[in-house]
Amino acid sequence: MIVFEEVVKRYPGGYTALAGVSFEIPAGELAVLSGHSGAGKSTLLKLIAAIERPTSGTVRISGQDVSGLRRRAIPYLRRNLGLVLQESRLLYDRNVFDNVMLPLVITGHPPRDAAKRVAAALDRVGLAGREREMPAGLSGGEQQRVAIARAIVNRPSILIADEPTAHLDTAYAAEIATLFKSFNAAGVTVLVSTHDDRLFAKHQPRRIVLGKGLLIEAAA
Ligand code: ADP
Ligand code: ADP
């Protein structure tokens, strides 16, 4: 379902963030991507979402080669991907409802059904009934849950998250890990990056470990 073949990513300026990375994550898996800061984790996740393009090699998502995807095909790829990336901040001048609703507005979802979807997504992350609250009034862990609700509101088959627990206390981080496990149990393919892979240890994820742009380990 997620396949990397000899993927190289060199940024303008010449820095090689990924130096020939190959791995496969079968559909329905929970996979954890780890490695120290600067190892290339964010780059790898951005290649999946076609936010960055590989310099060489192939990235395949659900059988589709996204490496050279044309610009207007990208929205169709993203519709099937839930993304919780470092730069996917919440909109602080809109309430929780509007934040989670955003992807449905973009895809032109019928409004009445969309409101139900938002309610269901919030319920799924443990924030039922919190639609009218503003993000700034929520704890860090709750804000991260809103971001996750926004990522799953389109019911994607793949969920990608870049260090979703980075700024959270251990207890909150463990809850977020369990939440990702619950999506996986519902059939979603989940790939989460973290620099603390102990967080997911009890869920026995497939492990992908990067070091300086190279794959160190890829094991189930
Ligand atoms: P990680 O997520 O593991 O911390 P990143 O993928 O963010 O790693 O970064 C890998 C390397 O690529 C880092 O050395 C970083 O400075 C570099 N890098 C990331 N994004 C860019 C960019 N847009 N332009 C140039 N270099 C970048
Ligand atoms: P329903 O269709 O009645 O909402 P489901 O059992 O199909 O119930 O889904 C359970 C919950 O999972 C729903 O509240 C829904 O918001 C949430 N959900 C949203 N997107 C996804 C997804 N991609 N995978 C799994 N669950 C999702």
Which one of the ligands is nearest to 152 CA? 2
Q: The tokens 């609250």 sit on which residue?
A: 133
Asked if residue 18 has pLDDT above 80, the reply is: yes
Asked if residue 92 has pLDDT above 90, the reply is: yes
pLDDT per position as a tens digit, 115-124: 999 999 999 9
Using the mean position of ligand 2's atoms as its centre, give its distance from the Cα of residue 19 in Å.
Answer: 38
Using the mean position of ligand 2's atoms as its centre, give its distance from the Cα of residue 25 in Å.
Answer: 22
Count the neighbouring beta carbons within 10 Å of the beta carbon of residue 137. 11
CA 185 to CA 187: how far, in whole Å?
5
Nearest to 143, CA basis, from 152, 157, 130, 153: 130
**Rg of the chain taking only CA atoms, in angstroms:** 17
Using the mean position of ligand 1's atoms as its centre, give its distance from the Cα of residue 37 in Å.
Answer: 9
How many contiguous H segments (helices) and E segments (strands) does the chain have?
A: 6, 10
Residue having the nearest C-alpha atom to atom 22 of ligand 2? 155
Percentage of the chain with pLDDT > 70?
Answer: 99
Which one of the ligands is nearest to 79 CA? 2
pLDDT per position as a tens digit, 136-195: 999 999 999 999 999 999 999 999 999 999 889 998 999 999 999 999 999 999 999 998
Asked if residue 105 has pLDDT above 70, the reply is: yes
Above 0.90 for ipTM, yes or no?
Answer: no
In this predicted structure, what is the pLDDT of residue 196?
Answer: 84
In this predicted structure, what is the pLDDT of residue 219?
Answer: 66
CA 79 to CA 114: how far, in whole Å?
15
